[in-house]
Structure 1
């Protein structure tokens, strides 16, 4: 059973950590044993098991372990003490459980946390919205794959009713964390419904590929390429091989960033996203005198890294359906793979291949020329065989 308020959880712990019950005292009298009036019911249960022994198939009597002695000593405080020394390992376990319950009870009284409050760990970045509190004091966080922690490890970062700027920032971070915890790999009709406006229905055709090649040949920057790809979303969507494919052109990330394209496809593992940045086709990609990316390619990589950071901080908004004032980007992840299209092959420097490979390995961001895009699309359409094994598709990084 879980609770919504700290008071209810404290009361639950009081029930579990209270003194021996009348029934336990009656059983002890029948067995010819004596239970101290201040003995916790958890320890009393262990003593009864020892006294009754074979009559109830209790465990054999064994000496208290050294590690149990050390743990009991470390858990005691000036107000919470062991009043009757443990006679065996079973009683030691009872005392340890009792001491832990009292510690969590005191922590809940100190924190006074309720469902909806935002908590975190001291000196560690991250925030979590409290979903409920267990009868043993365990604090559960919002999210389908629920995380949790003991209250004595937590601090309060914002209350449910706080409305200040700092509280809003903390709550937004907690919502993103909850969304990440809530990720499942299962597709649902609701997720597909949210992506429906961007579903690519058209098949890849030779005519569109040839026209794209012409646009690239005459373009002095990325703008005409962007416009043509928006008119023919099947060109970029063809790079992914899922059962259903989606292309989102120039979505606004909180009014701060505007990716050129967000691509997605679906398979048995769920939804996979690819972040696409277009840069000028007249870039050499790498510097002539250094083994480093040039300004345009470097800007493309930086853009994708900034989008990822925004997604990390606003994941709940990004994934929330548009009908609930979100972006509708179902199951998008902050570490989604990136693709930068920049430059032409004849402009490449000698170090281009090594530099681009390094960027891909470090950041999971592929850097390719527009010639690569055209050639990949032609190879995709010419391939004869099962689509899933087409070697020209962009496979997920290993």
Structure 2
């Protein structure tokens, strides 16, 4: 999936709502993408995990090690940004990363797994969105928002795609 999204960055760019322009910066020391809105540049840290991974363990209905690792990765990036913010924002020609306007409070997005009817997965997604400002989404969601011309659907909860 990583190679596919690097080859077709517009698939990932569709996750940003209300953009005038969107840039994908794959595997910058931080995995991130940014969108230009009327408020300026908005950054999102993106962590991609396998589509065959699971959000929850079937036995105990808790977050899997894969999901916990993805959340930890985003939190690690935020901690790094809190100590290296000047370097991250500095232009590349000034030996920085060239990420203007990025902050240590940057929202996160984890894309992993396929959709299930598991209520625990929905609860875990809500928990991370509320507490950590990290959206946990599935690859089904990613494909659905790219099929829909309606940008408001991008924030809709994951639902099983109905095929006609």
| The two structures share one fold, judged by TM-score above 0.5 | yes
- Among residues 239, 242, 256, which one is paired with 2:15 in the alignment? 239
Deviates more, 1:278-287 or 1:333-342: 278-287
Equivalence for 1:227: 3
Distance 1:317 1:394, change over 3 A: farther
Residue 152 of structure 2 corresponds to 391
Q: Which runs of 5+ in 2 are unaligned?
A: 157-164
* Structure 1 runs not aligned, ≥5 long: 1-224, 253-258, 384-389
1:283 aligns with 2:53: yes
1:293 aligns to 2:63 (yes or no):
yes
Mapped partners of 1:375, 1:327: distance in 2: 32
How many residue pairs align between the two structures?
155
Q: Aligned partners of 1:314 and 1:356: how far apart in 2?
A: 29
TM-superposition CA deviations, 1:39-61 (whole Å, max 9, x none):
xxxxxxxxxxxxxxxxxxxxxxx
* Equivalent position SS for 1:360: helix
Runs (4 or more) in structure 1 with deviation over 6 Å come to none
User: Could you say which structure has the greater relative contact order, defined with CA pairs below 8 angstroms and 6 or more residues apart?
Assistant: 2
Q: Does 1:378 align with 2:155?
A: no
Q: TM-score, normalised by structure 2?
A: 0.88
Q: 2:34 maps to which residue?
A: 264
Higher helix share: 1
Contact 1:284 1:349 in 2 (8 A): no
Contact 1:291–1:355 (CA<8 Å) still a contact in 2? no
**Mapping for residues 331-350 of structure 1, pairs under 5 Å:** 331-346=101-116, 349-350=118-119
Deviation at 1:295, TM superposition (A): 0.9
Larger strand proportion, structure 1 or 2? 2
Match of 1:363 among 113, 132, 139: 132
1:394 Cα deviation after fit: 5.1
- Once residues 229 and 291 of structure 1 are traced to their aligned partners in structure 2, the CA distance between those partners, rounded to angstroms, is 30
TM-score, with length taken from structure 1: 0.38
In the aligned structure 2, how far is the partner of 1:333 from the partner of 1:356? 23
Contact preservation (8 Å) 1:321, 1:329: yes
How big is the shift at 1:345? 1.3
